[in-house]
Structure 1
Amino acid sequence: MKRCSWRRAAAISTVVLTPMGVATAAVAPSGSAGIGDPYYPNYGNGGYDVDHYSINVEYDRTKNTVKGKTWVFATTKQSLGRFNLDLALRAKLVTVNGRPAKFTQSEHELVVTPSRALKKGESMAVEVTYGGNPSTTKVKGFTPWVTTPDGAAALGEPESAAWWYPSNDHPRDKATYDIAITVPKGVEALSNGTLQSNKVSGPWQTWRWQVSQPMAPYLAFFVTGQFTITKGTSQGIPWLNAVTTVKSPQQRYAAADLARTPEIVAWEAKQFGPYPFETMGGVAPNAPLGFALENQTRPVYSNVFWADGPSEGVIVHEQAHQWFGDSVSVHNWKDIWLNEGFATYATWLWSEKQGEGSRQDLLESYYLTPPDEDFWSTTIGDPGAGNEFDAAVYDRGAMTLAALRNRVGEAKMSKILKTWTRQKADGNARIADFIALAERISGQQLDSFFTAWLYTPQRPAATKANGFPATFAKRASTARTQRVAMPASRAQLDADHKQMIAQERQRVVG
């Protein structure tokens, strides 16, 4: 990714000469309305690469409205006479390099026509002034905005950015961020990265956050409300946690589990390589969101995870995403196994560490799911739009990695995972990239293995080639096909993304 100097581009007119020698304005092409993701053709946009976002939003809880002014600093990848941004809230004013631009808007597409065409490789600073009520702003009946008893939450996957800032909303276009959130005095406003300042001006208070490493747009978030904030440093990495001030057993369990974040991250660093970001932490609002989300540097957790007691497994899962999903992001949404399968595998490693059940126990237990169940009908390497968060992507995804470990051995599996997170850090990857790396490091031909596990909608044969020991293959042929109870730390993750799945399916179908 190119780095932007964030200077306003100089206005340079582009002309061509006709055969008659008359100078006429060149007609520059338009950037595409989508980045080219086969699942979501209109997600993201073509023609430019974003370098940095400077987001300024004001949230009025009494009206449930957002007013914003965001600068998008980008570099063109082609000459551009027109380009798109993703924004669902209503745009009021757009400028490009300081000059007013024409714009139209439909659903989440903001189409911008600058006052002059932009050259390939040119820097552009796009300023968008906008506002609205995110709760009532819906695209195909969908909004990711959540109003909580004491504030609001702007987060979701695979999309949420358009309901609070304009962006090139696809993981393929990462950027750095400055985020300023203004709320009534006495209200906390949490976001990604490091807290730069927290200043009061009259009845308002502005919280400024900074993300210095590339981040996908959907991973940016803000949550407002009443929180107890705790801070510290662990192994040289600062951390910040925020837990709702509303007293309840859930709140106490959440606070205790979030306090374990530095311990869990340190353990995961031994499994996957150095922690990839400049800070860490988590947010537990007073809200039954129905899911947890791996927002970069600071995941957000629904209080439903602590309905029945401690739930450190969800911390393990979302923090593992800092490596798998946040630092190494999908190239297209069909590559979602690289996120969810790997984060679930981390919980299996944690289960083994805690003595609740080993990777092999879990692999064999899930394998006994009856072969005619829907669990086996999803092609987890290409699950289809709206199916990215099916349970099979998570659990069969982890099974694939446990079986791979059996196939290549513990030492090579560890090398594969750590090499992956190092080589692909701050970037994007396809499943094919991981397969190639696994083959290179293991020295084995793994096409048939990954075809069986990722691209065949049926239960793989319990063979040595598919990562099963011979002893299990014999037992599996006579065992009763009924999955046994999973360890508690894994069971707690079943609600992860449930509400998001339902919303996404409704939006895709609608």
Structure 2
Amino acid sequence: MTKRILKNAAVAGLAVVLATGTAAAANAEPGTPGALSAGERLFPQLGNGGYDARDYDVAVDYRPGVTTMNASVTMRAVSTQALSSFGLDSAVPQIRSVEVDGRAAAFEVKGEKLIVTPARAVARGRAFTVKVDYVVDRAKSPVSPAMPLPPGLDNPLPVWENTPDGFAVMGQPDREHAVFPSNDVPADPATYTVRITAPSDVDAVGSGTRVSKQREGDRQTSVFRLDRPAPTDVVQIAAGHFTEVDQAGPHGMPVRSYVTKAAKPAALDHVRDTPAQVAWLEQTIGRPFPYSSAGALGIDSLYGGVALETAAIPTYGAEFLADPREAPIQVHELTHQFFGDAVAVHDWDDMWLSEGHAIYYQDRYTAAHGGKPFDEQMHGRYTINNQQLEQEGPVAHLNSPWGVLSGTDNGGALTLYALRNLVGTPTFEKIERTFYDTYHGRSASTQDYIDVAQRLSGRDLGAFFHDWLYTAKTPAMPGHPDWKA
């Protein structure tokens, strides 16, 4: 799916068109089925054509002691063709009903596709809504068809992370549609409302800013709003017993973190570093934090041994947060809010734009806060880069989908460092700001970044980027002819 429709086009404004005679006449179009793939090389089963998702409203009903949850999602989208039917990515175990624009729609589940046939075709260029009522089971974390496991091996990164007092989700790279049916490709970012109903003594957490908490009897519903676009795979929905840490960030931005009450006191101390870390990133990148709030979520689990850049509120295992040596990783995940979340990758072959930036600014933060000098860190990464290339393949053309998780970080950061050395720091920083300004709120490809870099540097950088991103051998490092890979 080629993503070039600006996300901030108001759905309400588009709806006005529906009142015109032209739109009414367009409803006569018979329509054709939307594509059931976005054409991803690494994840060919992902994505759908014929529409552009703009917003999701996800609601779940959590009840301790059972793993099933009643849920619903309403997707607001704009059609890019006349649609007789269309697909959603879905790996939820039960679909109860589907409505399109408030009318019951026929549906069929084939593998991980929910195929919807509306009562009448959706006209091209029309804003429409799809509501799906469904059931999820947190005891089931279906394995990605693109990332099969050897027989007998447990899923190392289940989408449902069940904790002693609740749950969280881990949707990256292609499992968020086991949480809610969606167009689960990074090329189609959207805004989100997350509604979590739970017992009144349970704390709920979702991506974005909490906008309400309403109690009814012994249950309460917490509502979170992410009002600027992000890809589906970084949406968090969680529940548990948390200590809430409220702070003010730069420009008075709310910083609200949640840490399991089972955590060590040091974990609370370290999430309190979040406002200063956000301020450092704003100053270094030269742009304000992309979302209306920030924070951290520390759960009572190892969370697969990873941290994830869930939008506006990165997720960690609380034990990880208790380690003071891991502060640079907190900056890594906050960097993803700029590169990876606000600027989504166009497809998974572009993941270096997300992970490379996160490592680059993580290492700069380390150097600025008493760690190894930045050049020394980059030298260390340079010496091992051929090993990663041999294992994972070229940075922007990975050997397998597994490389999306960790196969682009080292080479991606080195590519950015090499570009800075080649064009000079002032030009590089202008490239970074211009790229972010141009693409935040939508997705960007490797070629998009190359185009910005060439335009602002006044150089033909085709050979440079080819050597760093599309070959399996580390090139010579500009400015450091003595470095050996």
What TM-score do you get using the length of structure 2 for normalisation? 0.88
Alignment of 1:172-251 (within 5 A): 172-236=187-251, 237-248=253-264
* Cross-structure match for 1:3: 10
Distance 1:239 1:307, change over 3 A: closer
Instruction: Note if 1:297 corresponds to 2:312.
Output: yes
Q: Which moved more, 1:268-277 or 1:281-290?
A: 268-277
Distance 1:370 1:100, change over 3 A: closer
* Cross-structure match for 1:264: 277
Instruction: Note if 1:153 corresponds to 2:153.
Output: no
Query: Is the partner of 2:338 in helix, strand or coil?
Result: coil
Task: Measure, in 2, the Cα distance between the counterparts of 1:318 and 1:133.
Answer: 28
Distance 1:397 1:253, change over 3 A: farther
Aligned-residue offset at 1:388? 3.1
Q: Which moved more, 1:321-330 or 1:2-11?
A: 2-11
Instruction: Note if 1:369 corresponds to 2:384.
Output: yes
* Cross-structure match for 2:3: none
Task: Measure, in 2, the Cα distance between the counterparts of 1:390 and 1:300.
Answer: 15
Distance 1:315 1:85, change over 3 A: same
The percentage of aligned residue pairs carrying the same residue is 31
Task: Measure, in 2, the Cα distance between the counterparts of 1:447 and 1:193.
Answer: 38
Deviation string 1:256-282 (CA, Å, 9 cap, x unpaired) is 221111111111111212221111111
* Cross-structure match for 2:70: 67
Aligned-residue offset at 1:379? 0.3
* Cross-structure match for 1:379: 394
Instruction: Note if 1:419 corresponds to 2:423.
Output: no
Aligned-residue offset at 1:120? 0.6
Alignment partner of 2:291 out of 248, 262, 277: 277
Task: Measure, in 2, the Cα distance between the counterparts of 1:106 and 1:137.
Answer: 18
| Residues 29 and 79 in structure 1, CA contact (< 8 A), matched pair in contact too | yes
Alignment of 1:430-445 (within 5 A): 430-445=445-460
Alignment partner of 1:111 out of 115, 137, 146: 115
Which entry has the higher C-alpha Rg, 1 or 2? Answer: 1
Unpaired segments ≥5 residues, structure 1: 17-25, 482-510
Alignment of 1:457-468 (within 5 A): 457-461=472-476, 466-468=477-479
Query: Is the partner of 2:256 in helix, strand or coil?
Result: strand
Query: Is the partner of 1:321 in helix, strand or coil?
Result: helix
State the aligned residue count: 457
* Cross-structure match for 2:90: 87
Aligned-residue offset at 1:390? 5.6
Task: Measure, in 2, the Cα distance between the counterparts of 1:459 and 1:77.
Answer: 41
| Residues 43 and 401 in structure 2, CA contact (< 8 A), matched pair in contact too | no
| Residues 100 and 115 in structure 1, CA contact (< 8 A), matched pair in contact too | yes
Task: Measure, in 2, the Cα distance between the counterparts of 1:40 and 1:326.
Answer: 19
* Cross-structure match for 1:502: none
| Residues 376 and 459 in structure 1, CA contact (< 8 A), matched pair in contact too | no
Aligned-residue offset at 1:369? 3.1
Distance 1:278 1:308, change over 3 A: closer
Unpaired segments ≥5 residues, structure 2: 1-6, 149-154
Distance 1:344 1:137, change over 3 A: closer
| Residues 73 and 181 in structure 2, CA contact (< 8 A), matched pair in contact too | yes
Task: Measure, in 1, the Cα distance between the counterparts of 2:39 and 2:173.
Answer: 15
Deviation string 1:94-128 (CA, Å, 9 cap, x unpaired) is 11112111111133211111111111112212111
Aligned-residue offset at 1:27? 4.2
| Residues 189 and 344 in structure 2, CA contact (< 8 A), matched pair in contact too | no
Alignment partner of 1:131 out of 135, 151, 166: 135
Distance 1:131 1:395, change over 3 A: same
Instruction: Note if 1:36 corresponds to 2:39.
Output: yes
Query: Is the partner of 1:368 in helix, strand or coil?
Result: helix
| Residues 101 and 114 in structure 1, CA contact (< 8 A), matched pair in contact too | yes
Task: Measure, in 2, the Cα distance between the counterparts of 1:336 and 1:35.
Answer: 16
Aligned-residue offset at 1:14? 7.3
* Cross-structure match for 1:508: none
Distance 1:366 1:14, change over 3 A: closer
Deviation string 1:136-162 (CA, Å, 9 cap, x unpaired) is 252557651111111011222112322
* Cross-structure match for 1:255: 268
Deviation string 1:369-403 (CA, Å, 9 cap, x unpaired) is 385x3554520121144233464411122122222
Q: Which moved more, 1:319-328 or 1:451-460?
A: 451-460
Aligned-residue offset at 1:353? 0.5
Task: Measure, in 2, the Cα distance between the counterparts of 1:15 and 1:194.
Answer: 38
